[in-house]
Structures are given as C-alpha cells and as structure tokens.
Amino acid sequence: MESHEQCTRLRYFHNRKGESSFGSSRNAEDARLMERIQTGDQEAMALVYDQYSGTVYAAALQVLRQPTTAEDVLQEVFMHLWRSPGSFEWSRGSLRVWLAVSSRHRAIDVLRRKRSEVETTELAVIVEPDMFDEAAHGEDMNRLRVVLNDIPRPQRSVLELAYFEGLSHTEIACKLGEPLGTIKTRIRGGLTALRKAWHNCPRTRFMMSR
C-alpha cells in the first residue's frame, strides 16, 4: 500500500515537472518572438497570432457574448502588440496570460460604452483585478472554481452569473427574480468572501493539494 502511494506521488511530481518544463520552454520561445517583433519581424508576429489568437478571442467572447464584437477586440489586441511590443512586461506574467487579460479589459471597455445606461458599479465583478485577471491562466481558473465553492451558495450563484456569463446586476436580478438591491448586497458580500478565500488559498498550496 505504501509502495503504491509512493509511486503515485512520484508520478504526480514527474508530471508537474514536465508541465513546468513545457511552460519554461514556451516562455523562452515567446521571449525570442517578442524580441523579433520589436524589430518589426512580421513572421514572428504571425507566429504569436497563430499561437494565441484563440485564447484572446475566447477571453473577449466570454465577456461580450457577440462573436463579431469579440473578433474586433481580437484584432485590436494584436494590433496594439504589433505597434507597441514594449507594453508587454514579463514581470506581469506569461505572454498568453497578458494577452488574455488585455483582451478581457478591452472587452469590458466595449461593454461600458454599450451599456451607458448601466451604472459602472454593475461591471465591478468583471473587473476584479486580482482574482479574475489571474484566473485567465487555466490552472488559476480551477483555483477560482475551488474557492467559489467555499462561499455561501446565494453569493456564489450571483458571482458565477456575473463573471462566467457576463451578466450585469440588473440582468442577474431579472434572471433570478430577486430585487436589484438584494443582488447588489450578495455580490458585495460575495466579493469580500471570495477575496478572503482567494488569498488564503495561494497557488502553491492549491497545486500541492491536487
């Protein structure tokens, strides 16, 4: 029994090591491509586009839920990268995460312009900087889902509708048949609980518990 558990642990850490090596290799390749893009290398730009356009489009579509508008955001993100490659900083994470976050922020700006009649606070959940931007990374998305399960169901439900479905406070109230004030209270309380759970569940501990 002990031998079986030991083998299981060894396989786990071997797999984690392989994933880490792949991530390092990907980052090294991205660094070389970014250096080429800074010199105006169109081929390097095309390679980055081929590698990450799906991620950028998905991030925009999750917020906008309109394919045509999400495609516009996709083009804006890569046009910005081409014109201002120096705006990307490795200290802020991998290129994939940075592009996904950029796409999400631009999509939110589109929503703000289209929803001029909606209070800016109704988009507060979408722009939570620490949790939801970090969760653009696949593994952190799993972490986000785990900590969501630790907060009360009424609060969790409204946060899931706001983030994963991109609904505003008013839309959530209509969908659930609840007063708007109740929805706002649940979201405020849910965000407070979620922030606490998120910071009490650092990525390293989450990875070790898997």
Amino acid at 156: R
pLDDT reported for residue 23 = 52
pLDDT reported for residue 52 = 92
Task: Answer with the residue of higher pLDDT: 63 or 126.
Answer: 63
So what CATH class is 119-210?
Answer: mainly alpha
Helix (H) or strand (E) holding 192: helix 180-199
Per-residue buried b or exposed e for 113-148, using 16+ beta carbons within 10 Å of the residue's own CB = eeeeeeeeebbbbbebeebbbbbbbeebeebbeebb
pLDDT reported for residue 198 = 73
From the list 164, 96, 98, the residue with the least C-alpha distance to 125 is 164
Pick the range with the lowest mean pLDDT from 7-16, 115-124, 182-191: 7-16
Report phi then psi at 81, rounded to 5.
Answer: -60, -40
CA distance 37 to 44: 6
pLDDT reported for residue 10 = 39
So what CATH class is 1-114?
Answer: mainly alpha
Domain coordinates in residue numbering, the chain: 1-114, 119-210
pLDDT tens sequence across 38-76: 999 999 999 999 999 998 998 888 888 888 899 999 999
